[in-house]
Amino acid sequence: MKFSIKRTAFVNSLNIVSRAISSKTTIPILTGLKIVATKDGLILTGSNADISIETRIKASNADNKLAIASTGSIVLPARFFSSIVKKLPQDTMTLDVTDNFQTRITSGSSSFDINGLDPTNYPHLPEIDSDDSITLSGDIFKEIIQQTVIAVSDQESRPILNGVHFVLSDNQLVAVATDSHRLSQRKVKIDDSDKSFDFIIPGDSLVELSRMIKEHQDIQMRISENQVLFTLDETSFYSRLLEGNYPDTSRLIPTTSSTTLQFEAPVLLSAIERASLLSHESRNNVVKFTLKPSQKIATISGNSPDVGKVEENLQPDSMDGEDLTISYNPDYMKDALRSFGKTMINISFTSPLRPFTLVPTEEKENFVQLITPVRTF
């Protein structure tokens, strides 16, 4: 196998695939990067136990300056290989596999010989035979991920909560995540789809995926029993699915409310950030809302016996309902507020010990953040 290629194009693809390669693995060959050269171009593959990424560099694209002298395949140690490629002196580089998987990388006057591994030992990527593919707008999917992944649990004792639960039915995709302290739910209309799916994608995989989605890029999603495949142009992203039954979250979201507040999300966010400055120092990470709609008073306070206390009068855009005092973990509130960006939101409370919700004032149905309060004594 021998080819030469424009280095920047190669580095770009290398960076994509490297996301899936970890230096710690029980199968040594997975620390490597698989390169396959065909007549049509190169296929780069990286994988760890959870995700696998495969990307193609087409010979037909003149920008790549890809010239394949002979086809074949090789697995190279990813850590060394990518740092070598990034440091090479010239714009183009040549890779030549000789006997015993010895690989020579040359660029200008520089030449490296590194030991490769037998590509036949590289695990096969999962096969997804399903033809049902759903096309999503990359922008929207990225948004879904960013809005839900904050609530994904990192609790290892309940692995099912480490993922985002997707349900596709009746032309609607619902994504839910909860770590049992808070919950995020996002609904999106999917046109031209009469299929129904129910699956859980690990939060970590989604974070990696969202970093790969470029602006205005459509993505195809295909589901098999325990794998999901996302196709983004030349790149395929495989992730394992979490197995098990996700708790039924539909009952958890309250439908009624006794007190409501309306806020500009960034305004409330900065107030919460101020109030949590002290609570973070404290043994008890809690801030308190005191709401008196009748007197148009809304205060947020934090108390840390070691350091001091903070109190701030809030200026909600509107406030209705009964008087209420409620405490909660400000970190959950901050995460939730950040996910709204610069929109107007409604916060609805039912009682000091019941979860409360945050929804945007527009499209209330489609996005909800739910937070459980802290019971204070």
Partner 1 sequence: MPKIHALSSVLADQIAAGEVVERPASVVKELVENSIDAKSSEIDITIQESGLQSIQVIDNGIGIEHDDVKNAFKRHATSKITDREDLFQVRSLGFRGEALPSIASVADVDIKTSTGGEGTNLHIKGGKLTDEEPSEARRGTDITVKDLFFNTPARLKYMKSPSTELSKITDIVYRLAIGHPKISFSLIHNRRELLRTSGRGDVQQVIGAIYGIQCVRKMIPFKGQNDDFKISGYVSLPELTRASRNYISVILNGRAINNQAISQAILHGYGSKLMVGRYPIAVINIHADPLLIDANVHPTKQDVRISKETELSNLISDNIYQVLSKQNLIPDALHRNHAVKPRYNNISQLNMNLNQVSDHYSRKTSSSDYHNDSSSVQLNSDQAIANDTNLKQSPISENYHLPKTVIIHSKSDLKQPDLNRFQSYFQNEHDVLPFDNEKSNQQNELNHNHANQSGRFPDLNYVGQIRNTYLIAEGSDGMYILDQHAAQERVNYEYYRQQIGQVSNDEQKLLVPIILDYSAADTFKINDRMEILNSVGINLEPFGKNSFIVRQHPTWFASGQEEDTIKEMIDWVLTRGKISVADFRAKTAIMMSCKRAIKAHQHLDSRQARSLIQHLKTCEDPFNCPHGRPVLVHFTTNDLQRMFKRIQDPHHSNSY
Q: What residues make contact with partner 1 under the rule CB under 8 A? A: 153-158, 161, 178-183, 247, 252, 283-286, 327, 329, 353, 355, 370, 372-377
Shortest distance, position 5 Cβ to partner 1, whole Å: 44
Q: How far is the CB of 295 from partner 1 (least distance, A)?
A: 26
Q: Note the residue count of the chain.
A: 377
Nearer to partner 1, 33 or 370 (CB): 370
3-state secondary structure of 275: helix
Which one, 66 or 152, has the nearer CB to partner 1? 152
Cβ closest to partner 1, residue 116 vs residue 373: 373
CB atoms within 10 A of CB 194: 9
CB of 242 to partner 1, least distance (A): 15
The backbone torsions φ and ψ at residue 13, rounded to the nearest 5 degrees and listed phi first, read -65, -35
**Nearest alpha-carbon partner for 221 in 152, 281, 133, 162:** 133
Our CB check for partner 1 shows the closer of 123 and 308 to be 308
Classify 266 as helix, strand or coil. Answer: helix
Instruction: CB nearer to partner 1: give 156 or 191.
Output: 156
User: Taking the complex as a whole, how short is the minimal distance between the CB of residue 347 and partner 1, in angstroms?
Assistant: 17
Pick the closer one to partner 1 by CB: 178 or 227: 178
Distances (CA, A) of 228 to 5, 146, 235, 283: 31, 19, 14, 42
State both tokens at 65: 């300056």
Segment (H or E) for 13 = helix 7-18
Nearest Cα to 244, choosing from 319, 165, 188, 184? 165
Q: What are phi and psi of 260, to 5 degrees?
A: -130, 150
Coil, helix or strand for 316? coil
Is 221 or 371 the residue whose CB approaches partner 1 more closely? 371
| Least gap, CB of 165 to partner 1 (angstroms) | 12
Bridge partners of residue 367, in order along the sequence: 186
Residue 99 or residue 156: which is nearer to partner 1 going by CB?
156
Nearest approach, Cβ of 255 to partner 1 (angstroms)? Answer: 16
Nearest C-alpha neighbor of 135 from the set 76, 222, 202: 222
> Tokens 């948004």 sit at which residue?
143
**Minimum separation from the CB atom of position 252 to partner 1 (A):** 6
Q: How far apart are CA 89 and CA 108, in angstroms?
A: 6
Q: Cα(186)–Cα(368) distance, rounded to whole angstroms?
A: 7
Nearest distance, CB of residue 375 and partner 1, angstroms: 4
